Amino acid sequence: MSREKPSLWVTISSHTFLLAFGATMLLPFLWMLATSFKGEAEVFERNPIPMATSLGDEGNALRTRDGRALYAVVRGGDGVVTRGEPLSVRLGNPVQEGAKGDRARTPSGENLSDDIGQPVQLGNVLNDSRRLGEWGGLARFRDPRVYVKYAEAVTVDADFAAPGFDTVANEAAAKAWFCERPGRYAGAWERLKQTRFAGRVPLMVTPAMSDAWAPLSGKAEPVMLGGVRVPNRHPHPLTEFYQFKNITWGQPGEPVRDLTLPAALCQGDGIAVRYEAAFPVFRTADDPLKADERSDLAAFVGDEPAPRAVLGSEIALTRQIRLMWSNYETVLTDPNVKMTLFAWNSLFIAVCVVALQVLTCSLAAFAFSRIEWPGRDTIFLLYLGTLMVPGAVTMIPNYLLLQQFGWLNSFFGLIIPAAASAYGTFMLRQYMLTLPKGLEEAARIDGAGLLRVWWDIVLPLCKPAIITLAIFTFSSAWGAFTWPLIIAPDESVRVLPVALKNFSGSQSTAYTLLMAASLIMMLPMLILFIFGQKYFVKGIQLGGVKG
C-alpha cells in the first residue's frame, strides 16, 4: 500500500511550522553572533545588525525621513544625566571655516542659528550617566541635528592669575591658534571669543607651564573587566577625556584641554578655570569611542591640516553595518584576557579526560562484556546504578575528598574525577556485546592474551562507539562549568567556561566581549559536530543522550 502524497497545503504549513520552530531555536545563537560584533552601546539596541555611525562622506550621509542629511554640529550641555530622564544638549556654534556668516545651517540651507545655545531634546536617557558621562546618554535621537559632544578647552577669565601666566600673551596665542593659521577662522577672533567661549579666552599651552600645571590624570582608572581595560564612565566629564592622552596636554601654542590646578595656583579657594568647548569632538551616534575612532579623532582634532574639522563644521554622519572584529581581537590577543591560557587549559583537560575515559571505559566494558567472572553482572548493575545519582549530590563529598588529596586548584582535580564514567562503560559494553565472540576466540588461539585481544581486536572494532564516546566526553568536558568553578578557581588552571565569567563584573558586563569569547569557545564543538554528526546520532542510538 503506497502512502498518499500529502497535499500542497499540508506540506507548506508543516514546513512553515518546522522552520518557525527551527528559527526559534536559532535565535539565541544569532543574538550571540550579532552581539559579538556590536559595539558596547549597541548591545541592547533592538536592531540586531551591528551598525555604527561614523563621520562619513556626504554621499552616504544619514538622512531624515524627508531626505535631509544629518550633521553633527552640537555642543554639549552640563550636569549629570540619569537613566530615564530626558537628555538635552545645547547646540554649539556650527561655524564654517571661511564662511560667509556664523550660520549654523544644514546643506539644504536650513538655518540653525536660532538654536545655538538652546537646549535640544535628545530623548530619554536609556543608560545611566556612569557609563556615558555628562554629555552622552544613550538616547534615541529625535532631532537629526543633534549628535555629538565637544571636546573641551579650558578657558580662563580675564582675571585669571597663576605663576608664569600672561593673559595678553595667552589671548594672542589663542588668536593665533584659532584664527591666524591658514584655513582657520580668519580674523573673527572677537566674535569667536564671544560666541564660543562666552567672553573668555582658551588657556593655551606655554613653555613656561611647569609641572605644577598638571594635566588632569590618574583620577579615573579604567576598570578591568575580563582583563580588558574598559574606560571608567565616571560622571565627571573630564575623566572621559582622559582617554585621549595625546591631546590632553598639547604642544606649546595649543589650547589646554584638560587641566587641574593645585590649590596654590588658584585664586580664592576655587579653581579659576572653566571648561568650554573649543573643538567639536564627534562621538558616534550612540556609542562610546572605539580604538579606531580614537585615532580618527586625534587626526581630526589635533592634526594639520584639518581646517574643516575645527570649530564645528558640519560633518555628515553615516550609519553602516560595522562588524567589530576588534571584539574578537581583544578576546584573543589582549594579554590581560588570557584567553589562550584558558583555552589551552580547557583543551588539555578535555583531551586528557577523553583519553582516560576511552581507556578506562573500554577496559571496563571489555571486562563486563567479554570476560567471564563471578558476580560480573551484579557489579555491572551496581555500576550502572551510579548513573541514577545526580551529580549535584556527589559534589560536596567529591570536593572534600579532593581537598584531602590536595588536588584543589590542580589539573588532577579537574581530570581524575572525570577519568571514568558509568555511562561510557555502559555504552561501550553494549557495543562490545554485539561483536561476534568468535573473533576474540580466534585471536586467543592466534596467541593473543586478554590485553592483546582488547587492543588488537576489540578496540578497532569498537571504533564507531569509541569515537561517539570521545565526542560526547569532549563536549561535556569542554563545556563543564560548575565543577571547575568549584574545584579550580585559580587562574592558572581556569577553564574557558569559568573564564567567561570574568567578562561580567558586579556593576556591568562586557557583553560584546563575552559573546565573542563564547563563540570562540563554541567553535571547536561546532566543528566537531559538523564532522562527527554521524557519531552524534550513533551515540543517541547506542545509549541515549548523556545526561
Partner 1 sequence: MADIRISKLVKLYDNGYTAVKGIDLHIRDHEFMVLVGPSGCGKTTTLRMIAGLEDISGGEIAIGDRVVNSVEPKDRDIAMVFQNYALYPHMTVYENMAYGLKLRKMPKPEIDAKVAEAARMLSLESQLAKLPKALSGGQRQRVALGRAVVRQPKAFLFDEPLSNLDAKLRGEMRFELKTLQNRLKTTMVYVTHDQIEAMTLGDRITVMSVGEIQQVASPTVVYDHPFNRFVASFIGTPVMNFITGALSRDEDLFRFAIDGGATIGLHMHHRQRLAATLGEGRVLGIRPENLSHAGHVATAASATRVDAKVEVIENMGDHQYVYLRIGGHPDPVVMKCSSHHRCEPGETIPVNLDTSFAHVFADGGEYAPTLTLPDGFQRQQ
Q: Which residues bind partner 1 (CB under 8 A)?
A: 436, 438-439, 441-449, 452, 456-457, 460-461, 463
CA 390 to chain centre: 35
Measured from the CB atom, the residue of 151 and 457 that comes closer to partner 1 is 457
CA dist 273 and 245 (Å) reads: 20
Residue pair 217/291 in contact (Cβ under 8 Å)? The answer is no
Q: Least CB distance from residue 441 to partner 1, whole Å?
A: 5
Residue pair 233/125 in contact (Cβ under 8 Å)? The answer is no
Q: Least CB distance from residue 360 to partner 1, whole Å?
A: 22
User: CA quadruple 90, 154, 205, 172: dihedral positive or negative?
Assistant: positive
Measured from the CB atom, the residue of 304 and 372 that comes closer to partner 1 is 372
Measured from the CB atom, the residue of 397 and 436 that comes closer to partner 1 is 436
If we measure between CA atoms, which residue out of 229, 220, 224, 227 comes closest to residue 248?
220
Q: Least CB distance from residue 367 to partner 1, whole Å?
A: 17
Q: Least CB distance from residue 361 to partner 1, whole Å?
A: 20
Q: Least CB distance from residue 469 to partner 1, whole Å?
A: 18
Measured from the CB atom, the residue of 86 and 449 that comes closer to partner 1 is 449
Residue pair 120/146 in contact (Cβ under 8 Å)? The answer is yes
Residue positions counted in the chain: 547
Please report the DSSP string for 288-329 in residue order. Answer: ---HHHHHHHHHHHHSSS-TTTTTT--EEEEEEE---HHHHH
Joined grid coordinates for residue 506: 558586579
Joined grid coordinates for residue 209: 607651564
Measured from the CB atom, the residue of 383 and 455 that comes closer to partner 1 is 455
Measured from the CB atom, the residue of 335 and 460 that comes closer to partner 1 is 460
Q: Least CB distance from residue 359 to partner 1, whole Å?
A: 19
Q: Least CB distance from residue 365 to partner 1, whole Å?
A: 18
Joined grid coordinates for residue 86: 530626558
CA dist 134 and 474 (Å) reads: 49
Measured from the CB atom, the residue of 130 and 452 that comes closer to partner 1 is 452
Q: Least CB distance from residue 351 to partner 1, whole Å?
A: 24
CA dist 464 and 427 (Å) reads: 11
Q: Least CB distance from residue 451 to partner 1, whole Å?
A: 12
Measured from the CB atom, the residue of 135 and 454 that comes closer to partner 1 is 454
Residue 469 neighbours by CB distance under 10 Å: 29
Measured from the CB atom, the residue of 73 and 428 that comes closer to partner 1 is 428
If we measure between CA atoms, which residue out of 305, 321, 330 comes closest to residue 54?
321
Q: Is 408 exposed, middle or buried (0-12, 13-18, 19+ CB in 10 A)?
A: middle
Residue 374 neighbours by CB distance under 10 Å: 7
Please report the DSSP string for 269-283 in residue order. Answer: TS--EEEEEEEEEPP
